[in-house]
Structure formats: C-alpha cells, structure tokens
C-alpha cells in the first residue's frame, strides 16, 4: 500500500524548563527538521534496498544478519503496512524462515532476496484468507530467533486488522455485559457473547477490550509504518493494585464462565491502558510507541486449585516515523 508510505522513528527530546521564550519558540521547528531529515534517510535506505530486491543484477554482495533482519522488516512495512487504519478485529500470524550464513556470519544478498520473496508470498496468502474487503496489514515484525552453525532462523509476525471503525475507545454502556472470553477461540470455538445470551458467536469480553485498546481516540493523522518492533507479555498475576486486586482479568469460581459487567470491563480497559502505555509500572519500552495488543483467553493452572480463566496480553511496540506522501 505505497500510497501510505512512511515510518519509523520516534524521538524523545527534552526541552529545558528554564529556557527563554525565544528558545522555546524555535525548538519545535528544529525538532521537526531533525525528524524529517532522519525520516528521509530511513526511507532512502528502504528504497535502495527495494531497488536491489527487484533488480536483475547478480553479484556476490553480502549482508550482516542484523542488517538483513532490519531491511526485511522495514521493506515489508513500507510496501504493505497501513497501521493508521482503525479496525475492530485484529489477529496475528507467525511464520518461520531460514537464511544461510557464511563463516563470517553474513548472508548472500541473493539469499536475503529469496527469503523476502517467501515472506511476501506468505503475507499475500494470509491476507487473502481473511474474508471480505475491509482488511489491512498493520505491521510485519521480523525477528532473528536463533543462529545454529551456518543457519539463521527467522520468524515474521504479521498483524492484520479487519472491519473498519470510525470511532475509537468506545465506552462500555450499560448493556455491555459480556462473558469473560472463549477458551479455544483460535480453534474455532464459538464466542460466548453477552451474559444475557445475545451476541452468541459474535464477541466476548476479551475481544471487546482488544478492539477498543487497538483503536484509541487519539491516533496518528499522518501515514506511518513501524520498525524495531518487539512484543511483550502481561497477565493479571503480575499486576495488582494497592489492595491486591488484579488489574487484568483473572477469573473466579472456575469452571464457571464469569460474566464481566460494563463497570468491570471499564475498569479492565483503564488498567490495560495504563499497563500498556506506562514506562515505570507498565510494559512500555523506553523510546517506543504502542502498536497493537492481542488478548488471548487461557486457562491458568494454579497450585492447589483447578485453575482459573485469564486474559493473556501480547503487546507490540515499535519506533514510528512520519514523512511525506510518496512522490
């Protein structure tokens, strides 16, 4: 989706509180210029890599494995991702690849080229399997999982969104009383719906939290894509308030399917927001921005009990940079 070119860089710059008024007036301009210069440099690097990938030139050029991973991720996001679209539904798909390395730990560019073609084919296939026309690639997170001998093992996590939204962080109203979630949802088990028996097969508590968190009211109004993506995990056992209450959903009375009232869901929405976005007490890595969250429904095995239903969070962050529209 090249009409939405862009991305990547998020800069944190401190402005001294004792600066004079004239300095404060000039600094935002300087910061904007610096961001634009860095963004243009990143886009230039991606375009050069894109040209090489699509050229018929043959050479013995090699790339370091870290550079290969960065360029593979950046180009996929540049070519296909549109993270600014607000969607109600969200899913991730992970795939694995191998890349041969020489004795110096570098890879032939032709091999990198072949891996990118495989990644591109997988992305296109996975996107085509989502029904309907309202769908988009939010991000592609390429990771180096391990190196064994002369082989590098890579993985790509693709984030897909579908079903557009015009408003974000919709509030839970008095009729939004949902069952906590659905075990086995990823295997096709029917979503439990609302506590009054309606919306069966449509949604559940974790899905209602997920799409709200993925679509905040304040969202970037310029095209962008992501680089340097990473995913962190969270569960209620790790986050409690001053009175010992879980800030993320942990069930009670297993095997009962707990009903989460609109007040409870509002509480979990607020606590999720803080945990996702807070540097000190939450998950957020320094210098990175929240990209998306996937909430899975699990059964946690606990000592001296049958276990409890829980929400398990996979939160993705990245570095974001905005540039102009494509030429």
Domains of the chain, residue spans: 178-206+228-320
Taking the C-alpha atoms of residue 98 and residue 196, their distance in angstroms, rounded to an integer, is 49
Q: What pLDDT is attached to residue 262?
A: 94
pLDDT one-digit tens code per residue, 7-59: 333 333 333 333 433 344 444 456 667 777 788 889 999 999 999 998 876 67
Residue percentage of the chain with pLDDT more than 70: 82
Nearest to 88 by CA among 123, 135, 157: 135
What average pLDDT does this structure show over 85-89? 74
Omega prior to 255 cis, within 30 of 0 = yes
Residue 270 host element (H or E): helix 262-277
pLDDT one-digit tens code per residue, 232-275: 999 999 999 888 999 999 999 888 999 999 999 989 998 998 89
Q: What pLDDT is attached to residue 31?
A: 63
Mean pLDDT of the chain: 85
Q: What pLDDT is attached to residue 55?
A: 85
**How far is the first Cα of the chain from the last one, in angstroms, to the nearest whole number?**
14
List, as one string, the DSSP characters of 21-72: HHHHHHHHHHHHHHHHHHHHHHHHHHHHHHHHHH-------EEEHHHHHHHH
Q: Confidence class of residue 167 from pLDDT cuts 50, 70 and 90? A: very low
What average pLDDT does this structure show over 176-205? 96
Tell me which of 60-69, 72-81, 201-210, 295-304 is least confident. Answer: 295-304
223: pLDDT strictly greater than 60: yes
What average pLDDT does this structure show over 101-112? 95
Tell me which of 87-96, 107-116, 252-261 is least confident. Answer: 87-96
């Amino acid at each position: 989706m090249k009409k939405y070119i862009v991305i990547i860089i998020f800069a944190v710059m401190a402005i001294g509180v004792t600066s004079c008024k004239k300095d404060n007036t000039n600094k935002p301009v300087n910061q904007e210029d610096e961001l634009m210069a860095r963004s243009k440099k990143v886009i230039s690097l991606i375009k050069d890599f894109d040209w090489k990938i699509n050229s018929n030139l043959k050479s013995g050029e090699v790339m370091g494995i870290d550079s290969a991973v960065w360029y593979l991720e950046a180009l996929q996001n540049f070519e296909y991702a549109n993270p600014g679209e607000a969607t109600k539904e969200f899913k991730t798909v992970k795939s694995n690849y191998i890349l041969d390395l020489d004795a110096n730990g570098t890879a032939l560019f032709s091999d990198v080229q072949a891996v990118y073609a495989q990644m591109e084919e997988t992305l296109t296939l996975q996107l085509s399997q989502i029904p309907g026309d309202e769908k988009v690639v939010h991000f592609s997170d390429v990771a180096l999982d391990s190196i064994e001998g002369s082989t590098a093992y890579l993985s790509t996590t693709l984030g897909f969104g579908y079903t557009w939204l015009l408003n974000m962080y919709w509030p839970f109203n008095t009729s939004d009383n949902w069952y906590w979630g659905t075990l086995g949802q990823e295997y096709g088990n029917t979503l439990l719906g609302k506590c009054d028996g309606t919306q069966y097969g449509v949604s559940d508590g974790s899905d209602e939290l997920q799409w709200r968190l993925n679509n905040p009211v304040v969202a970037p109004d310029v095209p962008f894509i992501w680089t340097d993506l990473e995913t962190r995990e969270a569960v209620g056992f790790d986050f409690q308030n001053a009175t010992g209450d879980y800030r993320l959903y942990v069930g009670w009375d297993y095997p009962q399917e707990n009903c989460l009232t609109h007040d409870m869901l509002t509480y979990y929405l607020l606590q999720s927001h803080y945990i996702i976005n807070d540097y000190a007490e939450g998950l957020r890595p320094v210098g990175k921005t929240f990209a998306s969250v996937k909430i899975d429904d699990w059964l946690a095995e606990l000592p001296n009990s049958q276990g409890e239903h829980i929400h398990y969070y996979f939160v993705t962050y990245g570095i974001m940079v905005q540039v102009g529209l494509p030429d």
